[in-house]
Structure 1
Amino acid sequence: MANHVDTLDRLFVALADPTRRQVIRRLGRGPASVTELSRPFPITLPSFMKHVGVLERTGLISTTKSGRVRTCELNRDRLDLVDGWLAEQREIWETRTDRLESLVTQEERP
């Protein structure tokens, strides 16, 4: 259980950065080279590579190198962990709001 929580923590930290979220969004359309991914950002390539490293260490992306070109690909299974956690939270809050609605409507009846 602790390992699962640590994994989720690292995933959320990685996704907390807007640059990394944009990279994930772009990779959702398919693999891309690091050069292509870095173009929209006003940062140096070494700085951008730090973002790629964070995403790769968390398992959100994988990279392969062919010659001088490093290609990134999204690992959707890791996003499923985030989606599963969000689904659990959604269920908890929907249950709470359903109970609150039930309580409110019961008190309205004379």
Structure 2
Amino acid sequence: MEFIDANYILRYLLRDNANQYLKAKDIIENKPIFVPEFIFAEVVYVLEKVYAVSRLEIQTNLESLIKYPNIELNQKNVCIEALQIYSTHRIDFADALLIAYYKTMRHSKLHTFDKKILKIISAGI
């Protein structure tokens, strides 16, 4: 199993450096790789804040990437759910990931002072 960092995913999605894109493409499309969720959080942050990519485009591109059969995460479905929450609410991806994990653990309780998170949870999202 191999690991990649956020820069590999960014070069793959943005294709802004031909040499790095080709290296990233080879690894991402052909090797079994593990990507921790915090790497996706960094990718989301950079795409949104540095490259001004829309939330919907971020969701679409990362969901597609997560669904590659050779890419492993701890919880693919949780990460996909977090991307959906992130794209439809004005919250950070880390908060969306927390909500998605909370939803998968049905009889759990989430303690937070964050009003945005509380509003989303109380709406039954």
Using the size of structure 2 for normalisation, the TM-score is 0.28
Larger radius of gyration: 1
- Larger strand fraction of residues: 1
Q: TM-score, normalised by structure 1?
A: 0.31
Structure (1 or 2) with the greater helix fraction = 1
